[in-house]
């Protein structure tokens, strides 16, 4: 596989290729011969792939940590709004939604009368007669159920200029909403790109307002276009490059909705990209570098502080976690301060950034530990949210804080029984070193208040207990202020993300009492997610505060029709809508 002349010693080629991969100068004695350079020019793509594979294979020998190559960043999907007739649009594939218009009374009667062979009343979610005609025979055949994500692909549909007509089931017409539309758009992308199709047109359903439909389609399509397998050497080049949305309405308003949705969808995928990186390629330092680079691109202020600053701020809870790792921690501070924004409110977004969580001295079982690279998903969400906020430009001040570190066992690591003094001055008895996320968030919340934040939201893959309580469908949400919760809940519904409020009653405070310190960092097995939230509430104090426990929703355990297995980017859309609500 190494391009060398017959009889040449290939060892110097290995050295040269490794140095090239690391963007370091290649000594004259190790430079590739001209014949190889010519071959590289002729077969550049294959040669670059081989260089990457070789460097990746030998990376542990040469260098422990490698930054992600730019070639792995997801390409941008171009979105166009069209007001033309679907039948007249030339496209690789036209996508239409099939809805079941059978009402519940009819369904109940059919279930009672089992001898009756009733068919669902299926209709396309479009008023275009040519598209309806092209699908009429299939809809009347009785072969379709109209259930969500049912896929049927027609080639050379009669009366249409499109090469294909993709019909996707959307379920019951009465229940169909933007939540469903977003997922169907993702399913359309994943269905078509798997067939090597790179562009298509989507008919916006008339039952949803045009601007909302456009936003949902764009966001869903971008999420569906992301795949997490970019370290595979045999990865196929399958992606959608261009999406056309067929809708009726004001062109300028629809394009504005599409552009905003593009920002949100791309920011969600940016978050997913951060979460997807293995921990040797996403250390706290690298996470800080990625955040700083993003901030430079979108015009945010950004500071990344190290251990000295953490100690200077007396962040004893944060440092207690960080002290066990050879990797230096990073305190990432991003500021969005638009001209014309009022002095208050100042929103604080605080994220847990544990780039790998072994559990520390209270070490986790080996089974499934590889997934703990995702333990910085809360921090990645805040970085992605700050990107979207900077590009959307709402008139409200926002500060994003990520406390990034590894949680490792070592001779320097904190131990069960230790007492750490948090930035607020509270003393914390360490019961379990695997309850580390709440420690770094505690200092992050206090620091946000010190910087002037009047409202706080934190996000973290905090507890397995929230997964026991809510499974993988809903994130857990906690609040110390009902008005704050109602505002976030409204944003949450607009964003189409599922979250369920859990209690923070005073009775739970007894679970975090310590006999030798102010509080313990682990309140025991029962009500574990609530105990963790009660711990954080001690540091939010009277500041209106929301806590999002995304442990069960930040990672898709299985591939779904609308999204790939891997990081989900949960909470970003809700956070952006929440921030926009203050500007409105």
- Residues carrying an active site annotation: 364, 438
Omega before residue 418 within 30° of 0, cis? no
- What is the sign, positive or negative, of the torsion defined by CA atoms of 178, 181, 183, 189? negative
CB of 319 closer than 8 Å to CB of 310: yes
CB of 427 closer than 8 Å to CB of 518: yes
Nearest CA to 95 out of 3, 10, 200, 19 is that of: 200
Assign 404 to helix, strand or coil: strand
Rounded Cα gap, residues 116 and 464, in angstroms? 48
CB of 522 closer than 8 Å to CB of 435: yes
Half-sphere exposure of 4 (CA within 13 A, CB side): 15
Instruction: Quote the tokens at residue 140.
Output: 């009347």
Q: Which residue has the tokens 């944060």?
A: 318
CA distances for 157 relative to 152, 163, 169, 242, angstroms: 12, 7, 18, 21
User: Within 141-199, where are the H helices?
Assistant: 178-193
The CB density around residue 90, as the number of other CB atoms within 10 Å, is 10
CB of 129 closer than 8 Å to CB of 88: no
Rounded Cα gap, residues 511 and 532, in angstroms? 10
**HEC assignment per residue over 418-440:** CEEECCCCCEEECCCCCCCHHHH
User: Within 393-477, where are the H helices?
Assistant: 437-450, 465-470
Rounded Cα gap, residues 437 and 372, in angstroms? 12
Exposed/middle/buried for residue 143 (C-beta within 10 Å: 0-12, 13-18, 19+): exposed
Rounded Cα gap, residues 478 and 540, in angstroms? 12
CA distances for 228 relative to 244, 274, 356, 497, angstroms: 25, 11, 18, 21
Instruction: Write phi, then psi, for 529 (nearest 5 degrees).
Output: -65, -35
Rounded Cα gap, residues 394 and 131, in angstroms? 40
Rounded Cα gap, residues 17 and 354, in angstroms? 33
Assign 73 to helix, strand or coil: coil
Rounded Cα gap, residues 56 and 68, in angstroms? 11
Assign 567 to helix, strand or coil: strand
Nearest CA to 574 out of 544, 553, 543, 557 is that of: 553
Exposed/middle/buried for residue 467 (C-beta within 10 Å: 0-12, 13-18, 19+): middle
The CB density around residue 477, as the number of other CB atoms within 10 Å, is 24
């Amino acid at each position: 596989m190494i391009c060398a002349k017959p009889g040449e010693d290939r060892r110097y080629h290995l050295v040269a290729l490794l140095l090239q991969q690391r963007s370091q100068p290649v000594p004259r004695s190790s430079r590739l011969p001209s014949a190889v350079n010519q071959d590289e020019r002729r077969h550049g793509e294959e040669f670059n792939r081989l260089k990457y594979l070789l460097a990746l294979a030998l990376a542990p020998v040469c260098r422990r940590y490698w930054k992600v190559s730019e070639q792995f960043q997801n390409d941008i999907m171009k979105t166009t709004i069209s007001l033309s007739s679907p039948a007249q649009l030339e496209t690789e594939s036209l996508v239409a939604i099939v809805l079941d218009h059978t009402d519940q009374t009819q369904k109940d009667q059919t279930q009672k009368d089992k001898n009756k062979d009733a068919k669902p009343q299926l209709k396309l979610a479009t008023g275009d007669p040519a598209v309806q005609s092209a699908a009429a025979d299939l809809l009347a055949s009785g072969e379709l159920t109209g259930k969500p994500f049912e896929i049927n692909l027609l080639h050379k549909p009669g009366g249409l200029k499109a090469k294909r007509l993709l019909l996707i089931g959307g379920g019951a017409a009465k229940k169909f909403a933007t939540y469903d539309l977003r997922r169907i758009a993702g399913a359309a992308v994943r269905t078509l790109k798997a067939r090597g199709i790179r562009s298509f047109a989507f008919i916006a359903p008339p039952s949803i307002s045009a601007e909302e439909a456009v936003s949902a389609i764009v966001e869903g399509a971008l999420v569906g276009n992301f795949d997490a397998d970019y370290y595979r050497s045999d990865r196929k080049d399958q992606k959608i490059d261009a999406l056309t949305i067929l809708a009726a309405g004001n062109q300028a308003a629809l394009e504005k909705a599409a552009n905003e949705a593009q920002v949100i969808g791309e920011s969600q995928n940016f978050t997913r990209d951060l979460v997807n990186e293995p921990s040797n390629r996403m250390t706290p330092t690298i996470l800080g570098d990625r955040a700083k680079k993003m901030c430079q691109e979108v015009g945010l202020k950004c500071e990344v502080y190290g251990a000295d600053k953490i100690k200077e701020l007396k962040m004893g809870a944060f440092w207690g976690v960080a002290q066990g790792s050879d990797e230096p921690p990073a305190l990432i501070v991003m500021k969005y301060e638009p001209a014309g924004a009022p002095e208050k409110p100042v929103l604080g977004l605080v994220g847990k950034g544990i780039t790998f969580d072994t559990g520390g001295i209270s070490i986790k079982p080996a089974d499934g530990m590889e997934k703990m690279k995702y333990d910085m998903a809360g921090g990645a969400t805040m970085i992605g949210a700050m990107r979207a906020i900077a590009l959307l430009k709402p008139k409200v001040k926002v500060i994003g804080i990520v406390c990034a570190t590894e949680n490792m066992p070592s001779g320097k690591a904190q131990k069960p029984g230790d007492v750490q003094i948090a930035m607020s001055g509270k003393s914390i008895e360490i019961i379990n070193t695997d309850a580390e996320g709440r420690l770094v968030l505690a200092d992050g919340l206090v620091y946000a208040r010190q910087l002037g934040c009047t409202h706080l939201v934190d996000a973290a893959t905090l507890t397995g207990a929230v997964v026991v309580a809510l499974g993988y469908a809903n994130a857990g949400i906690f609040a110390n202020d009902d008005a704050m919760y109602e505002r976030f809940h409204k944003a949450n519904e607009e964003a189409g993300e599922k979250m369920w409020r859990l209690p923070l009653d005073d009775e739970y405070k007894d679970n975090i009492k310590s006999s030798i310190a102010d509080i313990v960092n682990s309140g025991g097995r029962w009500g574990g997610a609530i105990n963790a939230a009660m711990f954080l509430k001690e540091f939010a104090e009277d500041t209106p505060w929301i806590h999002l426990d995304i442990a069960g929703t930040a990672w898709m355990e299985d591939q779904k029709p609308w999204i790939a297995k891997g990081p989900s980017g949960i909470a970003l859309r809700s956070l952006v809508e929440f921030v926009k609500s203050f500007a409105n």
